[in-house]
Amino acid sequence: MRTVLFLVVFTLLVGALMAGLMRTDPGYVLVYVGEFAIEMSFWTTLILVFLAISMCSGLVVFARWLMTLSHIGRWWKNRRRHGDQRRMLEGLHAYSLGVWDRAAQQLIDANDASFAPGLNLQFAARAQAFNGDLDRAKTTLKQLKLAHPDSIPAADRLLADLLLHARQNVEAEQVLWELHGNAPTDGEILVMLVEACVRNNSRAKSGDLLAALGTATNITSASKQELQQSLCHSQLSQFVDHLAEGRDTRDALNERWDSIPRRFRKVPEMVAIYARGLASLGCVEEAKGVLIKALSKHWHSALIEQFGAIQHPVFEQDLVRAEKWLVKRPTDVDLLIALGRICRGLKFNIKASDYLQQAADLHSHPLALCELAELKAVMGDVTASAALYRRGLQMALSNSKKGPAS
């Protein structure tokens, strides 16, 4: 600013001097430019030349000042960008620590200056959902889809994941079927879709899902088999539950069992469900035979649990067989519970109580405690029964808190 003021004052002084010189008229200079002739005094010409040089110098100084202003603008812009980057880093740090409300706010505030604004909003939406505000997370994802149309598939995929996490399985399945329609071979979508269908007990399109899993990409063969097994397990379990309601027959059960791929029919959990279906149709001996054959090949808790669950009818030979198993596996809690159930079915209440007490002493299994509590009530020991029910309930609640959230 001082330079500009100096130039103004200097120009005024030179102008005054020029006016004085023009009155004295010491001589003149004639300049021809094309058809025009310009006549002026020598001193005037000298002053004009000097003024022209001064104006050029002033323009240079002014240009440099403007460049300084642009530097200030860039500095201010960089300062804002650095501030937004700092907020983004703070938001990601809060996200890693599980401080969901702060993470969501910081990530949204830093979104405009982020090099990946769509990713910022996705993290923010997940933080909002984890903070218990799923509606706000949905709003954030809608903003993401409006601002970045190319992020619509990613936003819908994230929405489905958040809905599954919040146990809103019906809405999650609807979103995932739409995503599957647009990307039928995407393995990540199929993984979530299988989970949603299993939770919702959806049977209508299970066959389509099994076929789609065969052509799925970006998942391993082991994962494909696991998902197929999960679907088959869900289908068979639902079918057997309907058998208990008298909706189907033995032929229908066998047809359903035969439709399951052979490799899955050897899985213990699947065999246990099939045996449960046979027992519900009254084919108790056949169900026990299936379980005994499977146990001879592969000892599994699901098989022995189902063997003990078949109560009508129960024969002493079942007790003899289970006690022979116990000789080789004296600390098997599932076997002890099964023996307790078998003894109770035979009205051997004291023996049943001994087996169930052993199971409870080996491992505070909620099922063992509840079975023993029920037996104690039948035997008239109401006080012990109430204490065991309370202990079993506390154990079940403790196990549910230790389990992973899903």
Peptide bond into 366 cis (omega under 30): no
What tokens appear for 144 in the block?
């993401």
Structural element, H or E, at residue 283: none
Which class for 405: exposed (0-12), middle (13-18), buried (19 or more C-beta within 10 A)? Answer: exposed
342-363 pLDDT, tens digit each: 999 899 999 999 999 999 888 7
Domain residue extents for the chain = 2-79, 328-406
| Residues 262-296 pLDDT 10s | 888 999 999 999 999 999 888 899 999 999 999 99
By three-state DSSP, how is residue 299 classified? Answer: coil
Q: Is the dihedral of CA 56, 59, 61, 63 positive or negative?
A: negative
Per-residue confidence (pLDDT) for residue 405, from 0 to 100: 39
Question: Residue 113's pLDDT band (boundaries 50, 70, 90)?
Answer: low
Residue 13 token pair: 């002084």
Q: Of the ranges 92-106, 131-145, 274-288, which one carries the lowest mean pLDDT score?
A: 92-106
Strands (E), 113-209: none
328-406 maps to which CATH number? Answer: 1.25.40.10
Whole-angstrom Cα distance, residue 37 to residue 199? Answer: 99
Count of other CB atoms within 10 angstroms of residue 202:
21
* Residue 120, pLDDT above cutoff 90: no
Confidence band for 17, pLDDT divided at 50, 70 and 90:
low
Q: If pLDDT is split at 50, 70 and 90, which confidence band does 338 have? A: very high
Q: What is the pLDDT of residues 230-249, one digit of tens each?
A: 888 888 888 888 775 555 68
Supply the pTM of this predicted model: 0.62
With pLDDT > 90 as the criterion, what percentage of the chain qualifies?
25
